[in-house]
Structure formats: structure tokens, C-alpha cells
Structure 1
Amino acid sequence: MASFAKPHAPRFSVDVYQNEYLHEGGSEVNAVVTVTATGGGTAGTAPGAALGAAPGRGPSAAVAVMVDCSGSMDHPPAKMRNAQDATAAAIDTLRDGTHFAVIGGTHVAEEVYPGGGRLAVADAVTRDQAKQALRRLIAGGGTAIGTWLRLADRLLSSADVTIRHGILLTDGRNEHETPDALRATLEACAGRFTCDARGVGTDWEVKEVTGIASALLGTADIVADPAGLAADFTRMMETVMGKEVADVALRVWTPVGTTIRFVKQVAPAVEDLTGRRTEAGPRAGDYPTGSWGDESRDYHVCVTVPPAGIGQEMLAARVSLVVPQPDGTVQNLGAQGLVRAVWTTDTAASTSMNPQVAHYTGQAELAQVIQKGLDLRKAGDFDGATAKLGRAVQLASASGNADTAKLLAKVVDVVDAATGTVRLKTRVAEADEMTLETRSTKTVRVKK
């Protein structure tokens, strides 16, 4: 394990968990890489209580809050009021000195506050002005989320700050632009800012909201009851205010002849990073992880190595952490982990699965079978849905993922969790089904 620290920044460490032993002719190497950031100088102190904090406490940050103002936000009228209250609560959580803006989203994007193509700087006066501007929002128009994100990108990029983050709230489907247009926007914004996305009520499309959060390395969730928005927005903003290092990348180096099969974040949620690799010199690639505060995440790295003779050992991969610098170079954070391969005739050693690898392999499968089961249920294939969701119940039970098990129990009647024997419920509340789908990728940490 190695670590790196600088004043007022987290110390990063990397730990590797694996069974390095391969049988004769074996070539697949799996490892769980735990990255931990601790000891940041400001994380946890600035958010919430930061209303009177001096500017400059904590890293510089810019936040854009995108509020759905389409016509459906007026059905019922309390929905828009809750969105206004939630955005006001988020604004109250901003640290003094944070740059911020509020965007009203319909089929076009409007600068609600401060306007003029610029960002405000948080203090008592600008917070009050922003909350007054929120009260003037009215619902009307369509939904074109890509226009909201592009305006957020323009505003966020206008500030010379360390952390750039968006919070997006929608209550409906993205009906006023094509899927290709939204996809192009997400590709253009990826790596420029992170974004948390929330769906309120039950009339929005889960795959749209989770796709936005996934592309922009943020979180996605459902707020089925609009009354819960203020608490959710406050928690989100507190987390943003705790971020201290932006654009951290997992750099994976492999020797000649080695192929990377995949790199996935597996905790706190499953996110496949394999296709997001950018080349970083000979035999090395960078995988984006977004912004960090004091926190820990797990990554599953799988590589294929050329088989070697019994007793031989090789370095299968080297994992480190880097952050980009203004001059186009990268700073290596010093933390490093080594993935090894050792060939043996000891069958017990080579067939034993590392507990961390086994746990997260199951968690990744859990996310997949939930998604597939719900898709089959919507398509009317009830036998297929029962089989997939039964497997999900079995995996959730075996891994101790109690939260997912509770969500599954609202969609299926569990006969025997250990064997995955279930019956589909004949009636399922739409909010329960959407909650299961939205949260299906959330995982539990392996018990060390």
C-alpha cells in the first residue's frame, strides 16, 4: 500500500485484494482495488455550517442547480413548491465563496439566477437573492434536458475553480429532444463537470436519469414523494461541499502481452469504466473516477495474462492515481497497488476465490439480473422475469444486501430467499418498481 498527501487535501491509499495463484495454463487474473481518501483538511467541516465561513475555506467550487420547470411540474402544484424549497435548502448549504447558478429547465434552458451568463458567489446577500428568484419560477413548457446541461457547462466553465458540479431535477421524460441529441450533450460534458440527477414522482424515465448520472460520474436516485426533495438536496449539496480533489483517474499499467478485460467500480455502486479508458503512454490507460472527498471506493480489475510455467510469477497490472494539471501534464498521487500472477500446482490455492472478488462478482450480477428481470416484466415475459428476480433475491440474501432485498420484496413475494424461489406480485406500485430499478446498482461493502 502507498499513500500521498498535501496540506488540506486527502491522503490517498490503494489496497489490492486478490488470489494471485493460477493453475497451469491459467490466464485470468482478478483483483479488487480499494481506493481510500482520508484526512482532508476541510471535508465535513464546511458544508451546512459554512454559512459564516470565510471565503477560501475548502477548495474552490462551482455548482449549477438545474430545476425542471416544465408544465408537468404543476401537477400537483405542490411539486413546484417542493422543488423551490429543495433548491433553497441546497443554496443554504453552499459554503461562502462558492460560485453558483440556478437554471430553469423546459424545452429551453433559462438562467434564473444570477443571469447574464455568469455565476454568483455565495454569501448572505446572494443566497437571499437566489431564493427570491426561485419564487418567481412558474411551470410551463416541455423538456429538453440536453439544453439544461449545456448551459450548466457554459456557466461552470466560466469560473477558475477546482470542483465543478451540477444537480439536476426532472419529473418527466426528455420528450423535446432526440436521444441522440442528449447522448451528444453527455459526451460533450463528460469530464468537464460531475452531476447528480434526481427523478421526482413517477412520470420520468429511469434509464434517462441514471444514464445522465452515469455519464457525468454522479449519483442517481428517485424522490417518489416531492416532500422529500429538500432533505435530499441538502444531503447532495453537503456531499458536494465535501469534495476536495477533482478529476482523479485510476491509471492501470499492464506488461506486454496482457489484456485488460474490464475495469469496474463496484462500491458504492456498480459502474463499468472499461469503455471510458483514455490512453496514457505505453501500455497504460486512465479510467475516470470523478471528484473525491473523504471516502472509499472499490474497483474490480480483470486482466488476461500470457500463461507461464509452474512456479513463475509476474506483475499482471500496476494501479496508481493521477490528476490532471493546468499545463496538460498529470500529477501522480503516489498511491500504488500491484496485481500479481503466480502459477502453481496447488489446486486448493489456484481454485480458491478471493472473498472480495467473489462478493463483488455477485454484486455486479445482482445489478444485471434486477435490470433484466424488470425489463422482462415490462415486456410481459413473466416466467423470465420470475427467474431473474428470483436470482436477484438469492444474491441479495447471500451477500447481505438488505436494502436491495427490501426493495425486491415489494416487487416479488419471496418463498425461499436461499434458493431464489419467488412469485411475481400481481400488483406493484410504480414508485416501488422505479425505486428498485434506480437503486439496483447500489452495492454493500464486502465484510473484511
Structure 2
Amino acid sequence: MTQPGFTAEVYQNEYLPEGGRLVDAVVTVTAAGLKDHPGRASASASTAAVIIVDTSGSMAYPPTKLANAKKATLAAIEALHDGVPFAIVSGDSMARMVYPPREGMEPASAHTRSRAETAVRRLSASGGTAMSTWLRLAERLFADQAAEVNHAILLTDGQNGEPASRLTHALGLCEGKFICDSRGVGTDWRATELRQIASALLGSADGLESPEQLPAVFQALTERAMGKEIARVSLRLWTPAGSTVRFVKQVFPHIEDLTGRRSAVSDRIGDYPTGAWGAESRDYHVSIEVEPDTVGEEILAGRVSLVAGDRKLVEKLVLARWTDDTALSTRLSPHVAHYTGQADLAAAIQEGMAARAAGDDEVATAKLGRAVKLAAESGREDTAKLLAKVVDVVDADTGTVRLKRSPDSVDAEIVDVRSTVTRRVRGD
């Protein structure tokens, strides 16, 4: 039996040509929220929260960065539900407890909020940036809690000053233990690092044009965490004998390749982590290579479900049938085509920005030109506006662009960090 409040739809062209092997489907899963269904428990999943504030020396320049980081932390504290264990961490070249003063957490209440706010107002900026130490402290804090959803916010204004291997190692230790939303402010943060953190810890990544945006962002992130109702949810995929899973990707609201994170349930069943769910909707692109059958035959190519422990939340079937009717086998699924294009757009932006950073103007121009063309074709006006901050668009239809000689560094990183953000099929 599936869980009330969860629905799913499959979008695919199930018809394959004679000898065809590739089956692609987009599965849209929507959780309306348990509170919307009479007779179901309405309580959110138990939550613990850690707010990590960059207090390296650069946060003092300009002073509005640290001032608004403090305001943002206070806004997050106010958004916590009573009883939620929380902690505030200050991060520079090492991680320090801000509140409580000793390593641990305190349940949110009028008293603990007041004491935490007093401690936050005393924050000052100095030192370097060592994000691995910040994350490791958060991991230790969450380890002492029994909450279903462990949620962290990490704010930085600079690039990590450690060897890349240290951050990678720390993320490996933290993976599966808490969710982390990473945010950049100022002019020296790196999109690749924020995306790396968000990807490993099943959170989101973004950059802010102005420090004044921080309080609203922290409040919204905390409220969203407080609204999670089911924790540790996985997408479960069954495929038939002789088949191969090419990939499993979340493709909305942002692109996240889950393929390499498969946890085997059996030889033919694998679980892919999706984190915690509240009232929301997500899309997944599943691609399977099957053994071809004869014309007229139909097989079950995959069974896609969302599970939380032993509970099946929703399930849908992916089919394959062989035909000699080319009108059927060549028909494109608009959803599959759309998200394939969105993935191509994200790759073009990231490759173009990497080439630009490496000084390879020729590759950067070609890749970012392709990104402009793809953005125009898919109606991504938001992405087109961002790209126009790093390239001069000569002809969007052909992808003809010129690199801007000295674009604002914040604009460049925001273009990069938002490359994985997607939109649904027009009119969907």
C-alpha cells in the first residue's frame, strides 16, 4: 500500500524500434503533505539544526557581510520550532562553538534563543577558511542527537584554504548523517565548492548578490527544514534480469546525479538517497538498457518507488514495447527531451566557466555560446540573463557570443552555482 499524500506520474515513450535497448522515463513524485490528509499524523519529523557562520577575516570587509550574517543567524534561530535541538558554529581556520559554549546542542526555547542571540551578537571576524573543520564539528554535534532530520546551513564568503582532499574526506565522513544547504556571499567564494558540499550532503547551493539578502534566505531555509515530514527517503529501482541501469538523476528542482550512490537491496533492486521530504515535488530521470525482445512484445523495464525504511510511499511502472511502426518508435517524450536538454545546459555552463577560470578563452567561448543557445531554445530566460553577465550575446539563436573581459566575480560564480537549477516542461 502506498502512503497517502504521495502521488507519481511517469512520462516516457514506451515504444522501441526493433532491436532497441534504451528506455528513458521521467518520474514526477509529489508529496502533498501528511497534514493535508485526514486521519494522518500532521507532526513534522523531529529535527536538529546547526548554523555554521564563516567568521574568517574577510567577513569584516565590508562590515555589512558580518552584520547581515549575524542578522541571518538570529532569523534562523527565531524560525526554529520550540524543542528543536540547535547549535551555532563559528568557522575560520578552525571551528568553534558559539552557542552553546561547550560542544553540544540545546533545545530551542525563549531562554535558549535569548542566550544564543547574545552570543551571536558578539561574533567577530579573523583568521582563514577551513571548511572541513566546520563540517566535522557539525557531524559530531548531530551524532549526539536522535533527530530524524539533521539540517545544517553553511555560509561562507571565501574559498576553502585547505587542500581539496581534506574537504572531500570530511564530506565522505558526513555523508548520510546530515543535510547541508550551502550559501556564498561576497566576492571570493567558489561555486564548485558550494556545489560539492550540497551534492554530498543532499542540500542546495546558491550565491547571493547582496549580504542584505541573508536574513530572508536563512529564515526560509530553516522554515523549510522545519516542514520536513518524512526522513531518509530513497528512490528504489527494480530492473529485470539482463538489464543495466545507465543512470538515475534528480532533474527537478535541480540536477543531481544519484547513479553512483546506489545502495544494493538485491542484484536487481537498488536504493538511491533523496533525503527528507515535506510538501514538495521532484522529478527523476531514469535510463535503463534492456535486452531487446520481438516486435509486439511488452516488458516491465523498471519499477520505480519511493521508500522510507520498510514503507513504500508510492510506486510507478516503466514499460517497454517493441514496434515496427517508426511513427511510434521515433516519437519523443517532451519531458525526457526537456530534461536531457537541461542537463546539457548545465554541463555547458560548468565546462565553460571552468575553461574561463583556466584561461582557455576559446573553449570557454564555445561552451558558453552553446549554453546561450540551449537557454534560448528551452525558454530559460533566467539563465539567459545570468549568462549575459559573463558574455556579450551576438546571436542567441546560433550561440554566437564574446567573453566579457572583466565580469563581476560574483556574477561569474552565481552563473556557475545556479547551473544545475532547472525548470519544468512549459505548461506542466
TM tier, smaller: over 0.9
1:158 aligns with 2:144: yes
Q: CA deviation at 1:414?
A: 2.1
User: What is the DSSP-based 3-state SS (H/G/I as helix, E as strand, rest coil) of the residue aligned with 2:310?
Assistant: strand
User: How far is the alpha carbon of 1:126 from its aligned partner?
Assistant: 1.1
Report if aligned partners of 1:195, 1:213 keep a CA contact under 8 Å in 2.
Answer: yes
Query: In structure 2, what is the Cα distance between the partners aligned to 1:430 and 1:406?
Result: 16
Match of 2:3 in 1: 4
Unaligned runs of 5+ in 2: none
CA contact (8 A) 2:305 2:314 kept: yes
- Tell me the equivalent position of 1:20: 14
Cα displacement (A) at 1:289: 0.6
**What is the 5 A alignment of 1:72-87?**
72-87=58-73
Quote how far apart the aligned CAs of 1:18 are.
0.3
Over residues 37-92 of structure 1, what are the superposed CA-to-partner deviations in whole Å (9 max), with x where a residue is unaligned? 1133289xxxxxxxxxxxx9533210000011112212222321111111011111
Which residue of 24, 40, 52 maps to 1:66? Answer: 52
Instruction: State TM-score, norm by structure 1.
Output: 0.91
Aligned-pair CA distance for 1:164: 0.7
Could you tell me the TM-score, scaled by structure 2's length? 0.95
User: Is the 1:263–1:299 Cα contact (8 Å) retained in structure 2?
Assistant: yes
Cα contact 1:193–1:216 (8 A) shared by 2: yes
Query: Which of 91, 101, 115 does residue 105 from structure 1 map onto?
Result: 91
Question: Structure 2: how far apart are the matches of 1:57 and 1:119?
Answer: 22
Secondary structure of the residue that 2:76 maps to in structure 1?
helix
Q: Quick one: which of 412, 421, 439 aligns to 2:391?
A: 412
The answer to whether structure 1 residue 356 and structure 2 residue 335 are counterparts is yes
- In 2: Cα distance, 1:320 partner to 1:27 partner: 22
Cα shift at 1:311? 0.7
Give 3-state SS (helix, strand or coil) of 1:192's partner. coil
The more displaced of 154-163 and 264-273 is 154-163
Matched, 1:174 2:173: no
CA contact (8 A) 1:249 1:287 kept: yes
Pairing 1:111-126 to 2, within 5 Å after superposition? 111-126=97-112
| Contact 1:171–1:200 (Cα < 8 Å) also in 2 | yes
2:132 to 139, 146, 152: 146
| Maintained 8 Å contact 2:391/2:402 | yes
Match for 1:374 among 353, 360, 374?
353
3-state SS, counterpart of residue 34 of structure 2 = coil
The aligned residue for residue 35 of structure 1 is 29
Query: In structure 2, which of residues 308, 322, 325 is the aligned counterpart of residue 343 of structure 1?
Result: 322
- How far apart, in 2, do the equivalents of 1:210 and 1:129 lie? 33
For the 8 Å contact 2:31–2:278, the answer to whether it is kept is yes
The superposition leaves residues 266-314 of structure 1 with CA deviations (integer Å, 9 ceiling, x where unpaired) of 1111111111111112311110111111000001100100111111111
Deviation larger for 392-401 or 418-427: 418-427
Q: Which runs of no fewer than 5 residues in structure 1 stay unpaired?
A: 6-10, 44-55, 324-329
Partner of 1:339, secondary structure, is: strand
CA distance in 1, matches of 2:126, 2:391: 38
Q: What pairs up with 1:297-312 in 2 under 5 angstroms?
A: 297-312=282-297
Matched to 1:389, the amino acid is: L
Equivalent residue number for residue 235 of structure 2: 250
1:29 shift after superposition: 0.5
- Structure-2 change in CA distance of 1:157 and 1:42 (3 Å): farther
Instruction: Tell whether the 8 Å contact from 1:42 to 1:57 is kept in structure 2 after alignment.
Output: no
**Are the structure 2 counterparts of residues 42 and 14 from structure 1 closer, same or farther at C-alpha, using a change threshold of 3 Å?**
closer
Please list the CA deviations of residues 105-154 of structure 1 after superposition, one character each: whole Å capped at 9, or x if unmatched.
12221111013332111111111111100012121122111111111111
Q: How many Å separate the matches in 1 of 2:319 and 2:65?
A: 54
Q: Which moved more, 1:229-238 or 1:26-35?
A: 229-238
> Given that residues 252 and 319 in structure 1 are in contact (C-alpha distance below 8 angstroms), is that contact kept between their aligned partners in structure 2?
yes
Partner of 2:372: 393
Partner Cα separation in structure 2 for residue 378 and residue 162 of structure 1: 40
> Following superposition of structure 1 onto structure 2, how do residues 83-94 of structure 1 map, counting pairs within 5 Å?
83-94=69-80
Amino acid at match of 1:348: A
Aligned residues of 1:12 and 1:333 also touching (Cα < 8 A)? no
Paired residue secondary structure (2:366):
helix
Tell me by how many angstroms 1:383 deviates.
Answer: 2.7
- Conserved? CA contact 1:42–1:242, under 8 Å: no
2:306–2:315 CA contact under 8 A, matched in 1: yes
Question: 2:292 aligns to what SS in structure 1?
Answer: coil
Alignment length (residue pairs): 423
Measured at CA, do residues 185 and 139 of structure 1 come closer, stay the same or move farther in structure 2, by a change above 3 Å?
same
Mapped contact 2:99–2:119 kept (Cα < 8 A) = yes
RMSD over equivalenced CA pairs, Å: 1.6
Output the CA distance in 1 between the equivalents of 2:409 and 2:165. Answer: 27
Q: Identify which range, 72-81 or 180-189, moves more after superposition.
A: 72-81
SS across alignment from 1:78: helix
Cα shift at 1:191: 0.8
Hey, what's the Cα distance between the residues in 1 that align with 2:343 and 2:417? Answer: 15
Per-residue CA deviation, residues 24-43 of structure 1 (Å, 9 max, x unaligned), is 11101100011111133289
Contact 2:33 2:229 (C-alpha < 8 Å) held by counterparts: no
Which range moved further: 273-282 or 69-78? 69-78
Cα distance in 2 between the residues matched to 1:116 and 1:41: 37
Kept in 1: contact 2:44–2:230 (CA 8 A): no
Aligned twin of 1:185: 170
The answer to whether the Cα contact below 8 Å between 1:202 and 1:224 also exists between their aligned partners in 2 is no
8 Å contact kept, 2:45–2:231: no
1:58 & 1:305 partners in 2: Cα distance? 40
Q: Deviations over 1:329-384 (max 9, x none)?
A: x2232411111110000101111110000000000000000111112222333232
